[in-house]
Structure 1
């Protein structure tokens, strides 16, 4: 964007040395005070005179500027009074201009809610910024809501949003969105709002709010807090601005607010990025205002510009209707923005804008009390819960607005005398004390009437120490914490939280059904057969018997899809599961869709139905820059479980083959092996293997054979990954060979592998044993050599770790691994074994936790089950080998006849096996009964007779 960056003010009739205008006397007084009390009077005089000039300039503008502060009851009261008196025809509001179409949907919501702009697919912004989200929270006790309600409910009134678009919010942000410009700085840690469930309703969205009025200079804020005897900014603002201005007239309110905005504007670090963005926002707003006036022909005297007091004291050259300085607004990027309303809460507003905990609740209580005291009728939208609509143009006739009076100096009198203070309202304070003790007792505190009296007296004492005529809610909360909360908090809520509840609580808004996006309404409609009120914020239990009520099957399918898309606490299964090849006939769910309205609404920005969004997310997951073969297999599994779409499964499976062939590391090998095994088992049980499964097996076989020698040498490839590669190669070998793969490729890869670490060495030995290249006797001998070498014994747990990982590709090694571990425990002396055990345990826990149960089961089959039997037990690997009985050659029966009848075939097979042709002589020699067998039969004739009878033969 090309825009002038100079902040020099355009010439005005009033300047620092002039005494003309309504504020000339005030300017002289401030200049004289600066000369009398300041050591460097020139700078102080310039600042004080400049503040007066800013007030004079803002109030002298042809278009009436109404300065406000966000969520300020005083601003809301002043706005109601001004709207009823002036009855403007056009209201220019400082809010993102592309949010205007949503404001009409506020009728279908319960405040507080937030207007949101959301973008997940970015075009023109860094990819790591996504998703982008901008929210503008709205409460009833705010000037912007009163202006919106007046404009929407009064015929003939036009509301125009003139602030930068949400796209420009990020265009002008030089930092990441989570550090962006709207978050105020300087709030102390003590006053930080709690980060609870309700505080997270806005997520990580950037907050845009009208009237961000706070010092941009940390030292100034610290000075004000110290001398104001308050702990945080919200309390200072309530004490020194809100209460004095609550009953002020219109001119006094405007002048004081512009004065404060100018003070904070001038006392801030110069040349910051935020200063440039603030000035660009002001240029943007005034440019849009002049464009609308030129196109609509509206009379500026019938218009009202509602903006933050900070921007009302603007000094940019585009300020005012008479300015002609150009400002070029850059085009928006190609990012597609989605708009909607999301629920908000007092704590969410406090957390996002750095306000003190409970300050928005106190502001809401102050607003309610002020409306009742003054008798004003606030503006409310039709359909607002509990609201009455009495607007200036619909329900009753209103007098014509009075002509604008000339600007008079109200600042001098306001600054010269303290504001009128109200005396102590004992009835109100007494009611607070009684209510807080009642709440404390309900929440487990041992509070009594004595505590109520103590809170009463302590609140008055704290107010006196802080130079206050009456205790504020902040004084009362401090007193309650001091007197009631002793050492520990007995329940979930502390006393400060109870005080927030006392003053109105953390009010949570709700978006009505009609204001929801189509997807959210579709979810509510499709879950209607469950008979639950899904708009409630409580957790509701849904019992689904699919056998007795088959019509609930679509509800079950939708719930499983929502489980995949929404946060875990929104849709939580209590009973039942959905996995490959299995569906429960009875399910139980805990539903909290009312609490997760924001997530459901943002889901509606991605599509019209849940199935469409799920399909898009699965495709996006396998096409993303971080997609891997395991991610694609997971997407295939989700598509099978949640969507009945063979076409989508084939598409995702083909993408998994592509990703596997393109991988250059083996980090995902364990996950790939686990998922492809499960998918192969599912497809074998349900039908023929799809083409993508066959391609995945053949591609994986060749791919892992190629990477195997490198993985054995690479230090970044762990023993778990190499074991999973071997598990894939040996486990899928039969299928891969049937599909055309060559086993010699695996043999060559194993022959080329030369690992250096003990664990991978053990894996290689297991692989060679599986291929028949390393007999078990030789493997046993190698392990015995390792145990006999004292230099290798400390590293022997690493060898064991490799053997444990080898159980994945070679599960038949389980007896051998038990044998090796038992031999180590039997042979190693205690000085060597005891330091060796912790390393063994940590190694097995880190590299093979899921394979240890296999070893335990094998040990259970090997070792005796009772302690007495252990004394006489001889390990199988230590028992002497019994002589093998000679296997008699069958010389009678059908087999003997077949062999004798076709000796040429037997000779040919013997020649292929490298054997001689004397098998006839050996068979004839072996036909004689051995003497050992004759002796055995004579000693046990009953056994021989029983076997003969079982075989239907004759007794011997």
Structure 2
């Protein structure tokens, strides 16, 4: 056999080594076809230049690929025709070595497919990057596997046949990202580089594409992982694809492929299948934009694979006649210099891997997830699976299956009536295939009738008012649509279009529309599952530790677990694990219905909804991070406080989680020390409310559970006191800092003041900070007044006068709600102001006229709702305590701030303030005796004297005149 050498590659040789040059030479079995295409191009285009070169080059590519000593088996992913041809070829040739286009570092995982129910995806995952941009992380690569795929048949044959070696020869997952442009945002825009131009330009063989997501849970099973598959045949020339779809009278590429390639090749012999697939791969390869980065990466992958195959053959000494190279049809038509075992070109220089540590495992997949991952039409993989099942049953073939494969029967022992591959010289099968009309399959009424009945039944279950008349309409419309599309037999695509036309009347009554129901009918709701033995150690440990719950956690249904920890203390370990999983997994994977876990509190009864089987991928990826859940949680908490975006509030949250979930004092001290460091370096106070809320809760917990505060708590209080005193003047005047943040700062300073002073802080620092604050915003002005009042610099009477002046000024009245907002936020640092705030608000309602008050109320309500929702309840409770509780009391009720001061009694006037104090002490003898005992005084003085102001006054009162005067002032005395 001879092969014409294309002019664009100096390394091309003929199959027999003769090496003829020129595109127009008619040689080999395809000489007549080449000459026929050249003449047709000249007739059609008026010359034999560009078009003739393309057509002749396609024939040259076919001749070259099929003349290679190492047999090349071109495939298309999820193609039943490729899978059927693969089964036939494997049973006839029985190769000893199979080279498979798949990432070479995924090979150790393939044996674990025995423990899974397909479809599943082989995954490589990396969260700690070394050699890649940090913004790409985490990196994830998946390779979906379905039974209706040629790669699975090759894998099953190699793993189940003794003496057969399977070798993966494609670049490693590390090289997938090494060869990606560094200016990409990453898969799905966030997690790493893409290797595709997108569905518009088409996707290539063994394509690496970004997950585009999809509607529904199943479409998101792969997450943001980069996908790797074999043989994604699709034009990379958008105009060509549009032309084919238009003239093929189909809506999307998957339907075109099914009609014009898949069905004609389903029963083709081996030579015809190979020649047609290489021809299609060559056509799409030559009709693509030149000079793109994608083209260079495709060619580098081909050089990589041929280099790996040469290395293996040299090391193992295998006979190329006993080997089979399974790759995408796109790569089978390769024109790189390294193509072929006899190529004189040097091997490709393979760069070493980066220091990134990759972890490997299997995750569940689904038809919808594969379609979303690779930009396929919805339902196309489900239709391929249905076509595969029917083709297998009709052809008598026994497909290969891994022993122990879940979800199906064994491989079987019956003999196969397979189409034998020719053993003589290769003949031209392309001419006959291209010239013959497509085979016309007869109408299978039983199949179509079954689809119509089943879709009506599914539609009724999902809320549609479908009937037998709709089933008849779908049947007839399917036949009509097939006729309009030049098909004698309706395909699943025709049936789905007919079902949508006849059943989808107006709106979708439930969660699923009719097209989705058609996918489910054809197997589109099938989701794979990773078996227990194929799970990582962490996932197996979780399932083992949750066994006492008595639930089948591998099911995809939601299970309800009831835990009575008082009656069954042995379930405490399950409860602890569930709360940790609640923190690590998606919210609906582990959801508490009853019970809570907070600082210092554990419920004695809990109820959980568990859907671990539905979120198996998340549990598996958790296993990539550690061996136990506790280890993973500890690592995540450490990463949370060590990241570049870590904050003091986040570190305090991590401390809470460590106490609630892990109960590790060592880790709590480490995280607390980090919180102190972060607080000291913060230059903004945006998180001040969160910091105040969390540190209060942590201090209360430690005071209740430990004899002394931890060292990090004391350091946090002293550091925070100095830090917020320093930032307080700036925060008061900055417009970017809200009133809520300033109120939280003051809340920290005043509520932590006694503890901070006891630990060595200086109160004068706070006084200076308040004195240096000069806000202009009304809300912050009110906050400053409250702070000065708390420090004793602004008496309550003067504060009341200032508010009265504001209400009396017509120019200030419209802004008065903002002053009230400041006072409401002041309840955080100065809760004793609650009566005054109620008084101020009531005074405003009483004094303002209706024309002013009514427009003012909406502003007040929105201001309180926006700026102080958590403080309004405190205000409401104070109002409830102040105002009368019944309607009759309201008529005689006098506000406390308007009630007249009590008139002194004659005895009080006569005895003076000292006498009032003595009367108070005499009214409470028990308390007086206790205080006297503490002071070391005898109790003989406690008897009241006849003349309280006389010289017989008690020694205690006489010895402390300043105290007497202070108490008298509080009692209203002179």
* TM-score with structure 1 setting the length: 0.91
Match of 2:169 among 152, 162, 175: 162
The answer to whether 1:603 aligns with 2:610 is no
Q: Which residue of 2 aligns with 1:275?
A: 295
Q: Deviations over 1:476-507 (max 9, x none)?
A: 11111111221122333222122112212321
After TM superposition, the structure 1 = structure 2 runs for residues 63-212 of structure 1, keeping only pairs within 5 Å, are 63-174=70-181, 175-179=184-188, 180-182=194-196, 184-186=198-200, 194-212=214-232
1:325 is aligned to 346
Q: Is 1:569–2:616 an aligned residue pair?
A: no
Deviates further, 23-32 or 774-783: 23-32
Shift of 1:395: 9.1
TM superposition shift of 1:407: 2.4
Per-residue CA deviation, residues 286-332 of structure 1 (Å, 9 max, x unaligned), is: 11111111111111111111111111111111211122233211111
Asked if structure 2 preserves the Cα contact closer than 8 Å seen for 1:7 and 1:279, the reply is no
- For residues 239-254 of structure 1, the aligned pairs below 5 Å read 239-254=259-274
- Structure 2 CA distance for partners of 1:835 and 1:902, relative to 1, 3 Å: closer
Aligned to 2:395: 374
Q: Is the 8 A contact 1:287 1:318 kept in 2?
A: yes
Check 1:639–1:780 CA distance in 2 against 1; reply closer, same or farther (3 A cut).
Answer: same
Counterpart CA distance in 2 for 1:499 and 1:456 is 14
- 1:7·1:317 contact (CA, 8 Å) conserved in 2? no
Give the equivalent residue in structure 2 for 1:440: 459
Q: Say if 1:561 and 1:614, in contact at 8 Å, map to a contact too.
A: yes
Map 1:454-603 → 2, pairs under 5 A: 454-603=473-622
Check if 1:675 corresponds to 2:694.
yes
Q: Give distance in 1, aligned partners of 2:458 and 2:213.
A: 21
Change (3 A) 1:499 1:681: same
SS for the counterpart of 1:889 is helix
Aligned pairs (5 A) from 1:205-354? 205-323=225-343, 324-354=345-375
**1:399–1:825 CA distance, 2 compared to 1 (3 A):** closer
Question: 2:933 maps to which residue?
Answer: none
C-alpha distance 42-396 of structure 1, shift in aligned 2 (>3 A): closer
- Contact 1:9-1:315 within 8 A present in 2 as well: no
Once residues 865 and 170 of structure 2 are traced to their aligned partners in structure 1, the CA distance between those partners, rounded to angstroms, is: 58
CA distance in structure 1 between the partners assigned to 2:374 and 2:884 by the alignment: 69
What does residue range 908-947 of structure 1 map to in structure 2 within 5 Å? none
Q: Are 2:914 and 1:889 aligned? A: yes
Q: Higher mean Cα deviation, 179-188 or 63-72?
A: 179-188
Secondary structure at the aligned position of 1:94 is classed as: strand
State the partner residue of 2:208: none
Q: 1:660 aligns with which of 662, 679, 688?
A: 679
Worse overlay, 772-781 or 315-324: 315-324
The equivalences for 1:727-742 within 5 A come to 727-742=747-762
Consecutive unaligned residues of structure 1, counting only runs of 5 or more, are 1-5, 931-956
SS, match of residue 877 in structure 1: coil
CA positional deviation for 1:15: 4.3
Counterparts of 1:397 and 1:452 in 2: how far apart (Å)?
A: 38
Equivalent position SS for 1:202: coil
Partner deviation per Cα, 1:110-148 (whole Å, 9 max, x = no partner): 111100000011111111111110000000000000000
- CA distance in 2: counterparts of 1:792 and 1:7, whole angstroms: 85
| Residues 663-714 of structure 1 deviation map (CA, whole Å, 9 limit, x = unaligned) | 1111111101001111111111112211111111111111111111111122
Cα deviation, residue 212, structure 1? 1.4
Q: Distance in 1 between matches of 2:548 and 2:463?
A: 41
* Deviation for aligned residue 1:843: 1.6
- Residue number in structure 1 paired with 2:385: 364
Partner of 2:775: 755
**In the alignment, is the contact (CA less than 8 A) between 1:439 and 1:498 conserved in 2?**
yes
Residues 824, 144 of structure 1: CA spacing in aligned structure 2 closer, same or farther, 3 A cutoff?
same
Structure 2: gaps of 5 or more residues: 1-6, 15-20, 189-193, 203-211, 923-939
CA distance in 2, matches of 1:300, 1:400: 23
Moved more, 176-185 or 415-424: 176-185
SS in 1 for 2:121: strand
SS of equivalent to 2:102 = strand
The alpha-carbon deviation at position 265 of structure 1 amounts to 1.2
SS across alignment from 1:490: coil
Cα–Cα, structure 1 residues 843 and 888, in superposed 2: closer, same or farther, change >3 Å?
Answer: closer
Cα offset for 1:904? 11
Check whether the contact 1:193–1:354 (CA below 8 A) recurs between aligned residues.
no
Do the aligned partners of residues 471 and 911 (structure 1) sit closer, same or farther apart at CA in structure 2, a change above 3 Å counting? closer
Q: Answer whether contact 2:648 2:691 (CA < 8 A) is retained.
A: yes
Could you say what secondary structure the match of 1:207 adopts?
A: strand
1:745 match:
765
Within 5 Å, which residues of 2 pair with 1:782-861? 782-861=802-881
In 2 relative to 1, CA 397–864 (structure 1 residues): closer, same or farther, beyond 3 Å? Answer: closer
Instruction: Check conservation: 2:213, 2:223, Cα contact below 8 A.
Output: no
Kept in 1: contact 2:913–2:965 (CA 8 A) = no
2: CA distance, partners of 1:311 / 1:304: 14
In the superposition, relative to structure 1, how do residues 25 and 7 fare at CA in structure 2: closer, same or farther (>3 Å)? closer
| Distance in structure 1 (CA, Å) of the matches to 2:273 and 2:166 | 23
Change (3 A) 1:313 1:187: closer
Q: 1:900 and 1:620, CA in 2 relative to 1: closer, same or farther beyond 3 A?
A: farther
**1:132–1:177: 8 Å Cα contact kept in structure 2?**
no
CA distance in 2, matches of 1:235, 1:376: 25
Q: Distance in 1 between matches of 2:449 and 2:266?
A: 23
User: Which stretch of the first structure deviates more once superposed, 620-629 or 672-681?
Assistant: 620-629
CA distance in 1: counterparts of 2:226 and 2:308, whole angstroms? 23
- What RMSD over aligned residues (CA atoms) do the two structures have, in Å? 2.7
Report if the CA contact (8 A) 1:540-1:591 is conserved: yes
Aligned mate of 1:427, from 429, 440, 446: 446
SS in 1 for 2:42: helix
Q: Would the alpha carbon gap of residues 914 and 452 (structure 1) be closer, same or farther in structure 2, given more than 3 Å must change?
A: closer
| SS of match in other structure, 1:857 | helix
Q: 1:511 Cα shift?
A: 0.6
Partner of 1:341: helix, strand, or coil?
strand
Deviation at 1:241, TM superposition (A): 0.9
1:714 aligns with 2:723: no
Instruction: Return the alpha-carbon distance in structure 1 between the equivalents of residues 382 and 166 of structure 2.
Output: 28
Shift of 1:160: 0.5
Task: Determine if contact 2:914/2:965 at 8 Å carries over to the other structure.
Answer: no
TM-score (structure 2 length as normaliser): 0.89
The farther-off stretch of 214-223 and 743-752 is 214-223
State how far apart, in whole Å, the 2-side matches of 1:912 and 1:643 are.
52
| Deviation (angstroms), 1:371 | 0.4
The match for 1:10 is 11
Are the equivalent residues in 2 in contact too, given 1:183–1:207 (CA < 8 A)? Answer: no
Q: Please give the alpha-carbon distance, in whole angstroms, between the structure 2 residues aligned to 1:585 and 1:903.
A: 58
After superposing the two structures, state which structure 1 stretch, 16-25 or 597-606, moved more: 16-25
Partners of 2:118 and 2:407 within 8 A in 1:
no
Secondary structure, counterpart of 1:833 in structure 2: helix
Q: Which residue of 2 aligns with 1:26?
A: 33
Q: Relative to 1, partners in 2 of residues 1:564 and 1:199: Cα closer, same or farther, differing over 3 Å?
A: same
Task: Give 2:53's match in structure 1, choosing from 46, 55, 80.
Answer: 46
Instruction: Tell which has more relative contact order, 1 or 2 (C-alpha 8 A, sep 6+).
Output: 1
